[in-house]
Structure 1
Amino acid sequence: MSSRKLTAVGTIAVAGATGYLGGRLVPLLLENGEDVRVLSRRREKLRDVPWRAQVEILEGSMEDPETARALCEGADVVYFLVHSMSGGKSAATFEKLERACALNLAKASREAGVRRLVYLSGLHPPGKLSRHLASRTEVGEILLASGTPTAVLQAGLVIGSGSASFEMVRHLTDVLPLMPAPKWVMNKIQPIAIRDALHYLVGAARLPADINRTFDIGGPEVLTYADMMGGYAHEAGFRRPLVIPLPVLTPWLAAQWVSLVTPVPRSLAVPLVESLQHDCVAAEKDIAAYIPDPAGGLTPYGRAVQLALHKIAADTVETTWATAHALSAPAEPLPSDPEWAGLTVFTDERTKTTTAPAERVWSVVEGIGGANGYYSLPFAWAARGWLDKAAGGVGLSRGRRSHQHLQLNDAVDWWRVEALERGRLLRLRAEMIVPGRAWLEFEVTPVASAPGTEGGSVFRQRAIFFPRGLSGRLYWLAVLPFHGIIFKNMANRITAAAGLPPPASRPRAADPQ
């Protein structure tokens, strides 16, 4: 996205603000000084988004004509980013729902005098289409016939963390070094980076009043689906998967396979896989006559994947929800993203309430590791340290600088202190040899008590693991039975140790200052 600020167009309404594209479009509109109104089926879905207080929120569904009227009333531009994909619905029900929403918007926009509708559809060839692409095409045709000037942007796969199409590519490639696939894995596709799709969406609000048409939008490369998986593997540091096209894999069977080996829900996997049977390549690039390419040109696929993996700075566009250095935990989603989006993350979380005051629990937490150990199965920790050392890692030999106190970036055995809020939060990042990235996090929260009494506290412990490819997932499964014992005992014994009377003072080596 270009950082150049455009002239505000007035009041902009966004239907689909809790979706992948809508949730990223709204903050860009706000940065540009627009007055923004958003529609959500449930107001609480927007509870945690950072821009909530800056927008007017309508609650309802576009299936309701009154909701469509309220959305359009006083709006200069309306973005329609609602797509009701659901493999659980029959084709007739699915198409009926999409058609009803489009007809309501067409009528409401015309009666309210909206100056521009913007709709995101899909790239598609002429001829028979999957029910998903056919429904999107029909919605575009309804809006173009509405009497309100409409821009229908037709995009292929959008590349960014959280995009259902990208997540399917990501997780299939992460998990499967050998991939049996339908023969249409060799079909052509013109993917577009999320930043470029947003560039065109923002620019579409300023198209001339007489423009009422479709525009194909895509990135600078035409690839096959196999190319996309190979390109993702290269950027993620994996070996390129061996893709074997099998004509016997029907769309239904392929969708079940995708649902089995990825976190993409079956309700999304079915229509997505059905759509992959078609070549999706831009037939024209007329949009360039009205909206210039982004500064620096359109984003190549490899760079779009790097942005999605957060390997390079994402500028103003949110392409990933996993930012371990910036958020309060190694992985947190954008509030508007689906729970299954982004990097795979495994966690083991334990919470204990104790009568021990927070400062005593914290003293145990801050003293963890080194000579004090980890309060659970010391032989298991020692064995893991020996294995790490044998593999060329640091093992447990580093110990810790101080017996009682930690500083940011201190080494603690095979851990590194990544975050430290003394008295409240300690996060350790693993530096052992492991097929992924791992953290161990402790949080202590005081519990309010009656005046004059000593309050208790809540202790929260989290083990967090980002697996790397198939080996990372197998590693987590292999150690999972031990985690149930180790981490449960750790939480119990840390809180128990905090509840004991302070040990009698005894001579010990002074901590380094």
Structure 2
Amino acid sequence: MTQTVLVTGATGFVGKRLVPALVEEGHQVRAMTRKPDAYDGPGEPVHGDVHDAGSLADALSGVDVAIYLVHSLDDDDFERVDAEAARSFGLAAAAAGARQIVYLGGLGKDGEDLSPHLRSRRQVERLLGESGVPVTVLRAAIVVGAGGISWEMTRELVKNLPAMVVPKWAETRTQPISIHDVVRYLVGVVGREEAMGRVFEVGGPDQLSYLQMLQEAAEVMLGRRVPILKAPVLTPRLSSYWISLVTSVDVTTGRNLIDSMGTEVIQTDFAIRDLVPGEPLTYAESVRRALAEG
């Protein structure tokens, strides 16, 4: 069934892939951006900024489904900033009569000692739905694709360093997922009654430590593994400075990401595969596609 869909962050890592996929599916898509005059992608560009509540009413007017893809990891006070934006967006979506909000959150078990990053993602889930619009949450770990912060950090580490020193958290397991599968799942839950008000975990088929991810990426990129030494003490702050030296990831974003890497994030619920069938891509194939995209 055709829906009128608003995509926030339409020019971002996920949004710029999601908008054309929704258009191809037959939906009427509004691409929300702070600079609609500069937008040259598919869909209808509309002005809106989740950090400016007054800009949201026009963008959301007549929308059936609003897809929320915004987070502020590059801000030292990202928990407060993201909470305020989510609360405002949920209120505006309810006032506009939206039937569903779809949110891409972070994988990780509830009740654990979550990092500030993952704790913020949970708070955003709750605040988006506080005004009564049913929220569909897709919780993902590392999303692999050209332009994604986590993938670009991995790619640049492998490319720039002949050998690496990694901290203990590099042995923590996670479940990477291709950007292609994330987009497929997001499209698959739009307008679906059975998805409303539910949380779904999404992941690829491989459960890997960050160390294994670096080695698999090196094998695809270089045809060989790279020497890696595990350091017993390397704090998130020190790690973030090191990351910023050898990659294009800034210190604040790096630290906020690394703070989450000590928490195991593994998919334990696979209900999404019943709702949106199809086998997700392996990590190695996700890496090959990311490299092919640039």
Query: What secondary structure sits across from 2:67 in the alignment?
Result: strand
Other-structure match for 2:60: 72
Structure 1 residues 100 and 216: CA distance shift in structure 2, 3 A: same
Give yes or no for the alignment of 1:24 onto 2:9: no
Query: What secondary structure sits across from 2:193 in the alignment?
Result: coil
Structure ranking higher on relative contact order (CA contacts 8 Å, 6+ apart): 2
Larger Rg: 1
How big is the alpha-carbon RMSD for the aligned residues of Structure 1 and Structure 2? 1.7
The one-letter code of the counterpart of 2:130 is A
**Among 254, 269, 274, which residue is 2:239 paired with?**
254
Other-structure match for 1:124: 108
**Among 175, 180, 183, which residue is 1:198 paired with?**
183
Other-structure match for 1:307: 289
8 Å contact from structure 1 (residues 121, 153) kept in 2: yes
8 Å contact from structure 2 (residues 165, 228) kept in 1: yes
The answer to which structure has the higher helix fraction is 2
What residue ranges of structure 1 are gaps of 5+ in the alignment? 1-6, 311-319, 323-513
**Among 77, 83, 87, which residue is 1:103 paired with?**
87
Give CA-to-partner distance per residue, 1:441-460, whole Å, 9 cap, x none. xxxxxxxxxxxxxxxxxxxx
Show structure 1 runs of 4+ deviating over 6 A.
none
**Among 204, 214, 226, which residue is 1:241 paired with?**
226
Query: What secondary structure sits across from 1:309 in the alignment?
Result: helix
Task: Map 1:324-473; keep pairs closer than 5 Å.
Answer: none
The one-letter code of the counterpart of 1:100 is E
8 Å contact from structure 1 (residues 10, 76) kept in 2: yes
**Among 66, 69, 85, which residue is 1:81 paired with?**
69
Aligned mates of 1:130, 1:45 — CA distance in 2 = 36
Aligned mates of 2:9, 2:138 — CA distance in 1 = 16
The one-letter code of the counterpart of 2:21 is L
Give CA-to-partner distance per residue, 1:100-137, whole Å, 9 cap, x none. 11111111222222111100011123322222221111
Aligned mates of 1:154, 1:136 — CA distance in 2 = 9
Structure 1 residues 244 and 45: CA distance shift in structure 2, 3 A: farther
Aligned mates of 2:203, 2:34 — CA distance in 1 = 30
Aligned mates of 2:164, 2:37 — CA distance in 1 = 40
Give CA-to-partner distance per residue, 1:459-487, whole Å, 9 cap, x none. xxxxxxxxxxxxxxxxxxxxxxxxxxxxx
Structure 1 residues 177 and 238: CA distance shift in structure 2, 3 A: farther
Aligned mates of 2:131, 2:205 — CA distance in 1 = 32
Task: Map 1:6-45; keep pairs closer than 5 Å.
Answer: 7=1, 9-45=2-38
Task: Map 1:263-342; keep pairs closer than 5 Å.
Answer: 263-293=248-278, 297-310=279-292, 320=293, 322=294
Aligned mates of 2:209, 2:195 — CA distance in 1 = 36
Other-structure match for 1:405: none
8 Å contact from structure 1 (residues 151, 214) kept in 2: yes
8 Å contact from structure 1 (residues 121, 140) kept in 2: yes
Structure 1 residues 243 and 44: CA distance shift in structure 2, 3 A: farther
Other-structure match for 1:114: 98
Aligned mates of 1:226, 1:23 — CA distance in 2 = 30
The one-letter code of the counterpart of 1:282 is Q
Other-structure match for 2:170: 185
8 Å contact from structure 1 (residues 231, 302) kept in 2: yes
What is the deviation of 1:258?
Answer: 0.6
8 Å contact from structure 2 (residues 48, 59) kept in 1: no
What is the deviation of 1:210?
Answer: 6.8
Structure 1 residues 43 and 180: CA distance shift in structure 2, 3 A: same
Query: What secondary structure sits across from 1:38 in the alignment?
Result: strand
The one-letter code of the counterpart of 2:15 is G
Aligned mates of 2:228, 2:189 — CA distance in 1 = 38
What is the deviation of 1:245?
Answer: 1.9
TM-score between both structures, scaled by the size of structure 2? 0.94
What is the deviation of 1:238?
Answer: 4.0
Aligned mates of 2:143, 2:21 — CA distance in 1 = 18
What is the deviation of 1:244?
Answer: 1.9
Structure 1 residues 239 and 209: CA distance shift in structure 2, 3 A: closer
Other-structure match for 2:159: 174
Aligned mates of 1:186, 1:45 — CA distance in 2 = 43
Structure 1 residues 32 and 210: CA distance shift in structure 2, 3 A: closer
Other-structure match for 1:494: none
Other-structure match for 1:387: none
Other-structure match for 2:45: 57
Other-structure match for 2:133: 148
What is the deviation of 1:193?
Answer: 0.7
Aligned mates of 2:223, 2:194 — CA distance in 1 = 48
What residue ranges of structure 2 are gaps of 5+ in the alignment? none
Other-structure match for 2:120: 135
Give CA-to-partner distance per residue, 1:307-363, whole Å, 9 cap, x none. 1111xxxxxxxxx1x3xxxxxxxxxxxxxxxxxxxxxxxxxxxxxxxxxxxxxxxxx
8 Å contact from structure 1 (residues 38, 56) kept in 2: yes
The alignment of Structure 1 onto Structure 2 pairs a total of residues equal to: 293
Give yes or no for the alignment of 1:211 onto 2:193: no
Other-structure match for 2:78: 94
Structure 1 residues 123 and 234: CA distance shift in structure 2, 3 A: same
Aligned mates of 2:86, 2:51 — CA distance in 1 = 9
